[in-house]
Amino acid sequence: MREKRYNVVHSIPDYVPMPLEKRSRYINRCGFCSTRPAKRFEDALITANGSITALIFGNPYDETIEFHHELLYLPSWKEPPKPPKISSVLPEIRTLLLEGRFKEVPRVSMEEILKDPLYNQLMRYAPDGKTRWSIPNNRRHSAFTLKAYQNRAGSVNNYLRALNFMSGEASVVWCDENGDNCRRSFVSRPDKVACQLMTAPDRKSLDLTLCIVNEGNGRFQKWKAMELIKVSLVQWNNEYRFTVIGHYDPTLSDAGFACVVRVVPTGGVCHIEDGLLKIQGADSVLVMTAIDRLDKVDDLHVESIITRIEAIKPDYEVLLARHVKVHGEVMGRSGVELSEIADIYKSVEELLEEQLTSENLNGSLVEKLYHMGRYYLASDTGVLPPAYGQYNINVNLQVCSGNITDMPEMMEIFFRFFESKMDDFRINAKNIFGCSGVLGSIHPDYESGYLYHFSAPWPHYYWIACAGWVYNEFWGHYLVTGDEQFLRERVVPGLKEIALFYEDYLIDKDENGKYLFYPCFSPENGQARGYPITINAVMDIMVCAEVLENLLEACYVLGLDEAKLSKWHEMLEHLPDLLLDDQGALREWAWDAIPDDFDHRHVSHHYGVWPGNSITWEDNPELAMAVIKSNRKRGQENDSAHGIMHRLFTSIRLKDKKGTEGFLRQILEHGFINKSLMTNHNPHRAYFPDAVGGLPAAIAEMAVYSKPGVIEFLPAMPSFWAKGRIIGVCLYTFARLDFMEWNLEDGHLKARITPLKSQNIKLRIRYGLGKVLINNTPTHVQNSTVILDVESLEPINIEMHFMLR
C-alpha cells in the first residue's frame, strides 16, 4: 500500500527578521520585540503616558500611528440620567422569589423601570428584537491616524520592532539598500506630548510623506463613533503644523477635542502638495503631538494647545530622558526573572510558537507579561484609571496588580475616581432599593456614577457587591502600606457607607434566623434559564462579610468606639450558611431551590478565596476543599479570559499547582495573547486587558503569599521554574519583599523583607523545611514555620534550606 504524503507550505514573511544575536542592542530583559509589522491594532506596539496613547504598527514604508486620548468619549445626553425610582416594587419581587416564581421577577422589575418616561425612551431593543436594554455611556473613540510613507528601497532585512518597558519607547528598525533605518516613539508624561523620531538611513537622506486621517482602526470605535463627530481637518497651517478639531453633537454639548501636530525636520526641504506634507533630503524628522478634550471648542482653547506645544524644545533625547526619570522609576520597582538570558531576546511570535509545543510554561514569555501588565497599568492611568468593561471583574483584574507590585500612584487615581462617585451611588441606593448608604455602579463612567444599565437578562441594578469589591483594593492598600491615616480618612468612611446600605437591605430573615439577600444577582449567571434575579448569591454574602469584618478590624486598630459596632457584629453572626453540592463543591447560591450552572464563565462564589482572603487551608480546610472542587468541575462557557483568571487566582491562593499550571497554560496558549503582549477577552478575539492586567499579581502570588501576620514563600510556584528571582512585592502584612531568589533543585531560598511596622510574623514554606538563618543566625523551625518578632523598617535577611516533598 502506497504511503500517503502531504505537501506542507510555510508562510514566507514579508521581511527577514533580525537574527537573535543582533537584538540585544534594541531590547533588554524589561522589554519585548516582534519580528513582523502589525496588521491589526491589537498587535500594534503601545506607547502612552496615561492620557495620550500611540499605537505603532511598524510597517517600514507605510507606517500607521493611531492616536487616542483617555477623555475622548462621545456624549450621549445633556445630563446623565438618574436611575429610575423602582424601590416600591421590592415587596412584590421578594414575595415572588420566596415563592420560587423566579422567572416572573425580571418582567416585574422591567415593567416598573419602563414606567419612568426617560427610561422608556432610552431603552432600545437588543438584536433579538424582544429584550429592551439601556446602554451604558462608554463610547470611546480615537483621535486621528498619522500615516508616514517612505519609498521602498529593495528587500527588507534585519527587521525588528521593540518596546522598552523601562522607557516606554517603541522602536522600529530595518535594513534595506539605503542602509539601516530607525523610527523611535514615546509619549511623555511630564511634557504631555507624543514624540516620533524618524531618522534617515545611514547611507542616505530621508524622504518622507506625512498624511493625517480621522479614521481609527477599531480600538475604541464603538457604534461607528466617528460618524457622529464633526471633524474639521484643518489642512497644514504651514509646513510645520497641522490641527485636527472635533466637535461633538452641539445639541448635547459644546465639548470636543483638538489635536495639534508639530513637525520639526532637521535638514531637507518641506512643501505641501494635495494635503500631504512632503519632506525631502532630511537627516531626521521629529513629530510631536498634543491632544486635549475641550469642554468648549473655540479658537482660544486651540491656540493654547498650539502655544504649549510650540514652547517645548524639540530635542527627542532630552524629552525622552525627562520622561524616563518619571516612568522608569515606577517600572523599576518590581520585576521577575524566570528564564535564561538568551531567551529574553526572542520575539513574541517565537515565544508563543515555542509555548504551543512545550511541556513547560515559557518563563521568558511570563516574565515579559509581568512587565507588560505593570506597563499597562502605568500607561493607561492618567486622570482616569483603566475602565474597560465592568466592575464585576473586568476593571477589578485590570487594577489588581497595583497594590502588590508597588504602583500606589496608579491606585490613588483609581481610588479617587471611585470616591468621586459616592453622591451618585447614594442616589442609586435610594432609587433602586430605597436604602441609605451606597450602591456602586457596575459601569465606570467619566460623567457620573449613576446606574443606568437596565435589562431583564443582565440585571446589574440588583448586583449589590460592586462597592464592596472595589473597597477590597482600598483595604489592600492599607495592608501593604500600614497607612493608618488612609485607613481612618478613606477606608472607614467608605466601608461605613457600604455597611449602611446593608443595614437597610437586610431586613428579613429565614426560618433559621439568617438574613436573606434578595433580590440579588450572581454575575453574570442565570440568563440561560431565565431567572438571573435570585436569593442568597454567595458572592454577595462573602462581600458583605468582608466589609463588616474589615470595618470592625479598622475600628479596633484605630480605637473607634462606633455606635453601630454591636449591629455590625449581629449582622455578621446572622449571615446565611453556605451550601455544598453532592460532591462537596461550594454552591453559587446559599438557597437550596436554586441549582448551580456548572458551565459558566464567572466563579463569583470563589470571592472568599480571591480577591478576598478569608478561605484558607489553615483557617477553614473544609471550605478550601469545597472551593477546589468547584474550581475543578466548573466549565468555562465561552472561555472568557476574566473567568480563567479568577480560577487561576483561586488555584494560586489554595496552593493548587495543578490548577495554577492549567489555567495559566490556557492564557498562554489559547489565543489570549496578541503580538503586542496585550490580551483578548476571548480566544483570538475582542481586545481586552483583563488577563494582562491581572498577571503581575498572579505571578507575584505564585512566588509569595501574604496576609496579616503570615508570609509564605513559593506557595504555587510550578516546578519547571526551578530557579528564579523576584523583586519589589508589597505584602499584605505591612511589609515589603525586597527580593527573593530560589533554587528548587538545591532546596535553597534567599530573601530580604522590610517590615513597615513592628509585628509578629509567621514565615512558612510548604516543603520539608530544614535549616533557617535569620540575619545569618540559625532560628527555631516548627512544622515548616518560623515565628518572628520584627521591628519597623529593620530589614530581615532570610535563608532557607528545604527538601522537596
Q: What is the pLDDT at residue 11?
A: 63
Examine the fold and report which residue of 705, 740, 763 is the final residue of a domain before the chain moves on.
705
pLDDT at residue 217 tops 70: no
* Residue 620 near residue 545, CB atoms below 8 Å: no
Q: What is the CATH number of the domain that holds 744?
A: 2.60.40.1180
Residues 6+ apart with CB under 8 A from 693: 373, 376, 377, 386, 397, 398, 399, 400, 401
Residue 681 lies in a domain: yes
Whole-angstrom distance, CA of residue 569 vs CA of residue 686? 44
- The answer to whether residues 670 and 719 belong to one domain is no
Rounded to an integer, the average pLDDT of 493-510 is 98
Q: Cis before residue 532, ω within 30 degrees of 0?
A: no
**pTM of this prediction exceeds 0.85:** yes
pLDDT band at 4 (very low <50, low <70, confident <90, very high): low
Question: Which is more confident, 427 or 221?
Answer: 427
Sign of CA dihedral 449, 452, 453, 455: positive
Rounded to an integer, the average pLDDT of 653-670 is 97
- The answer to whether residues 210 and 288 belong to one domain is yes
Q: What is the CATH number of the domain that holds 51?
A: 2.70.98.50
- The answer to whether residues 296 and 422 belong to one domain is no
Residue 353 lies in a domain: no
- The answer to whether residues 446 and 520 belong to one domain is yes
**Of 121-125, 336-340, 395-399, which range is least confident?**
121-125
Rounded to an integer, the average pLDDT of 147-173 is 96
Average pLDDT of every residue of the chain: 93
Q: What is the pLDDT at residue 8?
A: 66
Rounded to an integer, the average pLDDT of 680-699 is 97
Residue 9 lies in a domain: no
Nearest to 488, CA basis, from 404, 409, 496, 498: 496
- The answer to whether residues 115 and 206 belong to one domain is no
Residue 297 lies in a domain: yes
Q: Which long-range contacts (CB under 8 A, 24 or more apart) does 102-109 make?
A: 102/530, 102/531, 102/533, 102/534, 102/594, 103/530, 103/531, 105/519, 105/531, 105/533, 106/456, 106/457, 106/459, 106/530, 106/531, 106/532, 106/533, 107/456, 109/456, 109/459, 109/461, 109/462, 109/519, 109/533
- The answer to whether residues 66 and 106 belong to one domain is no
Q: What percent of the chain shows pLDDT beyond 90? A: 85
Examine the fold and report which residue of 705, 723, 751 is the final residue of a domain before the chain moves on.
705
For 319-353, write each residue's pLDDT tens digit.
999 999 999 999 999 999 999 888 999 999 999 99
pLDDT band at 212 (very low <50, low <70, confident <90, very high): confident
Q: What is the pLDDT at residue 654?
A: 98
Rounded to an integer, the average pLDDT of 745-773 is 96
Q: What is the pLDDT at residue 125?
A: 76
- The answer to whether residues 301 and 233 belong to one domain is yes
Neighbouring CB atoms inside 10 A of 761's CB total 22
Residues 6+ apart with CB under 8 A from 801: 747, 748, 769, 770, 771, 772
Domain region containing 104: 87-136+380-705
Give the three-class secondary structure for 688: coil
Q: What is the pLDDT at residue 230?
A: 73
Residue 65 lies in a domain: yes
Length of the chain: 805
pLDDT band at 12 (very low <50, low <70, confident <90, very high): low
Q: What is the pLDDT at residue 219?
A: 44
**Of 202-206, 391-395, 632-636, which range is least confident?**
202-206
Residue 281 lies in a domain: yes
Domain count, the chain: 3
HSE (side-chain half, CA atoms, 13 Å) at 414: 29
Rounded to an integer, the average pLDDT of 728-740 is 98
pLDDT band at 648 (very low <50, low <70, confident <90, very high): very high
* Residue 688 near residue 674, CB atoms below 8 Å: no
- The answer to whether residues 656 and 586 belong to one domain is yes
**Of 208-222, 301-315, 714-728, which range is least confident?**
208-222
Residue 614 lies in a domain: yes
Give the three-class secondary structure for 248: coil
Q: What is the pLDDT at residue 202?
A: 86
Rounded to an integer, the average pLDDT of 227-245 is 76
Q: What is the pLDDT at residue 220?
A: 40
Examine the fold and report which residue of 272, 297, 330 is the final residue of a domain before the chain moves on.
330
pLDDT band at 223 (very low <50, low <70, confident <90, very high): very low
- The answer to whether residues 124 and 149 belong to one domain is no
Q: What is the pLDDT at residue 133?
A: 81
Grid cell 520597582 is found at 333
pLDDT band at 104 (very low <50, low <70, confident <90, very high): very high
- The answer to whether residues 491 and 610 belong to one domain is yes
- The answer to whether residues 52 and 126 belong to one domain is no
Q: Copy the grid coordinates of residue 368.
A: 515579559
Q: What is the CATH number of the domain that holds 475?
A: 1.50.10.10
- The answer to whether residues 551 and 562 belong to one domain is yes
Q: What percent of the chain shows pLDDT beyond 70? A: 95
Q: What is the pLDDT at residue 329?
A: 98
Residue 1 lies in a domain: no
Q: Which H helix or E strand runs over 207? A: strand 206-213
Q: What is the pLDDT at residue 660?
A: 97
**Of 183-192, 521-530, 536-545, which range is least confident?**
521-530
Give the three-class secondary structure for 804: coil
Q: What is the pLDDT at residue 176?
A: 95
pLDDT at residue 535 tops 60: yes
Whole-angstrom distance, CA of residue 688 vs CA of residue 707? 30
Q: What is the pLDDT at residue 663?
A: 97
Of the chain, the end-to-end C-alpha distance in Å amounts to 53
For 537-577, write each residue's pLDDT tens digit.
999 999 999 999 999 999 999 999 999 999 999 999 999 99
In sequence order, the β-bridge partners of residue 246 are 231, 257
For 241-287, write each residue's pLDDT tens digit.
999 998 888 888 899 999 999 999 999 999 998 888 999 999 999 99
